[in-house]
Chains A and B, each alone.
Chain A
Amino acid sequence: MSRRILTVDDSPSMRMLLRAALTEQGFTVFEAEDGVDALEKFEAATPDLVITDINMPRMDGFGLIEALRSGDIQAGLPILVLTTEASDEKKARARSAGATGWIVKPFDREKLGAAIRRVLH
């Protein structure tokens, strides 16, 4: 069965690139444009994994991770941050909020796929 991934990014171009890269590797992709949109679409998408940007309007990636981790049902959900940010401070903040991993853009299709498969098993 195809694993379900919710991608969260305010750039339609980035979402399009991610969709292409992930569907090519056999994943089913759902998209949201920021944290608020992701929470609204979460139930319908019922993802096995979330990939989120950090800098987004309305609710950023940190807020989304905290919101997802605040629900008991999402305790084990892998959340990968995919961002242009490379600062240790932001990485530590994401980690303490409950992120599973940190990937710096521009993403490498194979490395991203390998990271996803690793955290899904």
Chain B
Amino acid sequence: MSLMSPIAPPVCRLTVAQGDSIASGDPDVIFTTVLGSCVAVCLHDGRAGIGGMNHFLLAEPAPIANEEVRLLNRYGVHSMELLINAMLKRGAMRRNLKARIYGGATMRQGLGEIGTTNIQFARRFLINESIAILGENVGGTSARRIEFRPAAGLSRCKTVSSQPVEDTIKISPASGGDVELF
């Protein structure tokens, strides 16, 4: 009789690039990303065992003077909506969502406000949507590597010395806004 140890399934690491919003309930999946001024929000529904992560950089100036909506960047709202929808489609419930916020560092001169703006947006959005913020690791001057296990809702944040390649200033995705009248 041979003794065989159970073979653990291979872990699948998925990189969450700038502009991505992805969700999964697979226990063998790990989402990873590297953030500079960008922000990533990790959402988790502990009851459904579904987690999701996005990664955004909001470089668009706020065009609306109204203080109430000043921080609500439309691309940020869009990124968060894509993330929430991806989770709901996999069985998560909006009322069970909990969040962690990462990133928003000041990486170099001239980008000072952008990291802060991204952090403020994420906080503001989550408060608006009544999504509890369990924790955050934001600001500072160092890039961060984030690992998130979506099914378990476990995340790990580590500062790294390298400059994230995606953290170049570019205006958020130009897609969307297309109108088709029937």
Binding site for B on A (CB under 8 A): 10-14, 16-17, 19-21, 24, 55, 57, 84, 91, 95, 99-109, 111-112, 114-115, 118-119
Inside 8 A of B68's CB, which chain A residues have their CB? 16, 20
Any A CB within 8 A of the CB of B47 = no
Asked if A101 contacts B182 (CB within 8 A), the reply is yes
Q: Of B73-81, B150-158, B162-170, which stretch is located at the interface? A: B73-81
Known A-B contacts A13-B80, A55-B88, A57-B94; A106 and B69 likewise in contact (beta carbons under 8 Å): no
| 14 A-B pairs in the complex with CB atoms less than 8 angstroms apart | A11-B77, A16-B68, A20-B68, A20-B69, A84-B78, A84-B81, A100-B181, A104-B176, A105-B78, A105-B81, A106-B77, A106-B78, A107-B177, A114-B179
Verify B177–A16 contact, CB threshold 8 A: no
Bound Cα distance A2, B19 (Å): 37
The complex places the Cα of A99 from the Cα of B180 at a distance, in Å, of 11
Which residue of chain B has its CB nearest to the CB of A95?
A: B182
List B contacts of A20 (CB < 8 A).
Answer: 64, 66, 68-69
Once the chains bind, are A84 and B181 in contact (CB under 8 Å)? Answer: no
A108–B130 alpha-carbon span in the complex (Å): 26
Cβ contact within 8 Å between B94 and A10: yes
Q: Which of B128-165 contact A (CB under 8 A)?
A: 128-130
Q: Chain A contacts of B78 at CB under 8 A?
A: 84, 105-106
- Pair A16/B128 contact, Cβ less than 8 Å: yes
Residues of B within 8 A of A21 (CB): 64
Q: A14-B77, A112-B179 are in contact. List 13 more A-B contacts (CB 8 A).
A: A11-B81, A12-B128, A13-B77, A13-B124, A13-B128, A16-B69, A24-B64, A103-B180, A104-B178, A106-B77, A107-B177, A115-B179, A118-B181
- A107 proximity list for chain B (CB < 8 A): 74, 176-177
> A118 to B178, alpha carbons, bound, how many Å?
15
